[in-house]
């Protein structure tokens, strides 16, 4: 039995990529213009001019603040 015949019997290895394995499309929801505005405002509040976080801020803090601002709009 040749190597090609053996590989045909065994099949492709689990790590081998096939052309039919296309990535799943991302789910698209409605964009919220108020949330976009709130995120811009929250990012301005929680980031420095060089785009790093200010002391005490994180991405979670920015999102919490954006949701809070969005509720007030």
Query: What residues contact 70, with CB distance under 8 A and at least 6 apart?
Result: 32, 34, 35, 38
Tokens of 52: 């790093």
Res 37: pLDDT: 97
Judge contact between 34 and 18, C-beta under 8 A.
Answer: no
Report domain extents, the chain.
31-73
Q: What is the pTM of this model?
A: 0.60
Place of tokens 């803090």: 61
Give pLDDT tens digits for 4-51: 888 888 877 766 655 667 888 888 888 899 999 999 999 999 999 999
C-alpha dihedral sign at 22, 24, 30, 35: negative
**55-71 pLDDT, tens per residue?**
999 999 999 999 999 99
């Amino acid at each position: 039995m040749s190597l090609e015949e053996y590989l045909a019997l065994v099949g492709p290895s689990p790590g081998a990529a096939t052309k039919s394995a296309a990535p799943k499309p991302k789910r698209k929801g409605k964009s919220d213009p108020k949330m976009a505005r709130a995120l811009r405002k929250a990012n301005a509040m929680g980031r420095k001019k060089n785009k790093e976080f200010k002391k005490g801020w994180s991405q979670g803090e920015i999102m919490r603040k954006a949701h809070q601002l969005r509720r007030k709009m």
